[in-house]
Amino acid sequence: MFRLCLFISCLICLSGCQWAGTIFSATHKVASVVMDDRSLSDDYTDTKLNLLIRNALSQRKLSYAVDIELTVFEGAVLLNGALPDEHYIEEVVKTVWQTNGVEKVYNYIRLDEPLSIDKVNEDALVSAKIRYELSITRGISSANYKITMENKTVYLMGIIQDETELNKVIAVIKNTVNVKDIIILNRFQNN
């Protein structure tokens, strides 16, 4: 099962398709729900909110849904990617905030042209490598993390067991080639 999930993950990452990533995330969570500290209904809520936001963005302008990476965790929404106009960025953030269920928005959208497919694929491969390394590293509950990578920056959302686990996660990410920066948007398990 793990090999199948890893294979599907690589295929999805290579496609650069954000929609497929959402579906993969849901599939991955079903497969790893036993190890997750959150309930299946929490994951369902995140996936549903993700799809609602994507739908709202695509109704505004189709490229918003494609050019922006969207990650949802417990009502917090991480936005990253690039758009060529400040007005577009403002419209995306406004649309996300207007979606019922959104509690927090982390806006990391760059004012720039979207990355080329080669750069997107490079980020996807590095992200898949990080996910794999986290899954095989002792003392890390990898199912509790959502990893997004854009323009060589790793965005980490999830539940941290303790400071020791966080240090291990950071070490795995820092030891991965082509990582320029790490943005940590996590909460500790007891918070």
For 150-168, the pLDDT digits (tens) are 999 999 998 888 999 999 9
Of 56, 77, 111, the one marking the end of a domain is 111
Domain with 13, as residue range(s), is 2-111
The pLDDT score that the predictor gives to residue 64 is: 75
In this structure, the answer to whether residues 39 and 15 fall within a common structural domain is yes
Say whether 184 sits in a helix, a strand or coil: strand
In this structure, the answer to whether residues 50 and 88 fall within a common structural domain is yes
pLDDT of 177 over the 70 cut: yes
CATH of the domain at 15: 3.30.1340.30
In this structure, the answer to whether residues 125 and 102 fall within a common structural domain is no
Q: How many domains does the chain have?
A: 2
In this structure, the answer to whether residues 101 and 7 fall within a common structural domain is yes
Of 111, 137, 160, the one marking the end of a domain is 111
Per DSSP, the residues of 62-118 read: HHHHHHEEEEEETTEEEEEEEES-HHHHHHHHHHHHTSTT--EEEEEEEESPPPPHH
Of 80, 111, 142, the one marking the end of a domain is 111
Among 29-38, 82-91, 140-149, 180-189, where is mean pLDDT lowest?
A: 29-38
The CA distance from 69 to 92, in Å, is: 11
The CA distance from 2 to 8, in Å, is: 10
Per DSSP, the residues of 14-36 read: HHT-HHHHHHHHHHHHHHHTTT-
The pLDDT score that the predictor gives to residue 15 is: 45
This prediction has a pTM of: 0.76
CATH of the domain at 163: 3.30.1340
Say whether 185 sits in a helix, a strand or coil: strand
The CA distance from 139 to 164, in Å, is: 8
In this structure, the answer to whether residues 69 and 142 fall within a common structural domain is no
In this structure, the answer to whether residues 136 and 96 fall within a common structural domain is no
Q: What is the mean pLDDT of residues 79-86?
A: 93
Q: Return the half-sphere exposure (C-beta side, CA atoms, 13 A cut-off) of residue 84.
A: 4
In this structure, the answer to whether residues 52 and 130 fall within a common structural domain is no
